[in-house]
Structure 1
């Protein structure tokens, strides 16, 4: 085998030195014995301990691995800071499926008996966004339907008890289907088109 050698390059002159390790955008986690995240610390681009973006604490329902809420002990000027959540931010059904996430305005998450998400309702003030999912007999997603419900006239105020946890039912005044996505699959279940 022939090799090319450039007489102007001396391999002995090549040097390499590793760059200094930085903590830019660094993250640290702590876990409980079950592997649940207990805390998370995130740094910004400078990587110094004084550049904390978030110092999150994860709180679980007693005796379970189910997250109840997250708090952030770091306060300051970071624009993308995670806000504190109220207790019972996340709720679960008897099977352990999440049925509510108040911080994301998800007031209702319904599951089918195979453990697949059937419907998600997101409260957006005077409107709801509802996403329905359909599955084939093999429990592969074949349909995603996004619906917008107008709850009340925007000029009217919502009921005072209108919150994520204790929500009075509000009948939609109109329903507008935004779009339906169909998933086309091959014989082995791979998605061919949406």
Structure 2
């Protein structure tokens, strides 16, 4: 593994010699990712895109390859959509996520190559790195960080860097 990799394991995440708290999918991790399972896929995933809200991140130090999120940008999560697991524009007749959300969750989004660009229907839509709702609150399968930590990572990230998700993380068993 390289210092340029983001490694997610039971202790959180490591990147560029630093440790970060992070959250993963409500369903833990899986080696058999499916649409709607709320799990984070185990493995090595390349970071192939970065999207941001220019109206909310004015002056943020982001790489040149970061792309602004437009007013009509959506992400298709409908397995019946020919554009499944791709960026699409409103209006869009299939199920989708709004990239330009009212809340700050997607103010900064790092896109991985999970099931992209050649999406397999039902294998799970986008795995993003984005800000968390609050400390410890799980995602729908993405990896989430504190806003300041995500900005720090994004400013230093190289296009093509890897997100490495270890197989040993997931929900802890309940204590009796």
Query: Please, what TM-score do these two structures have when normalized by structure 2?
Result: 0.23
Bigger proportion of residues as strand: 1
Select the structure of larger CA radius of gyration. 1
Greater RCO, CA 8 A, separation 6+? 2
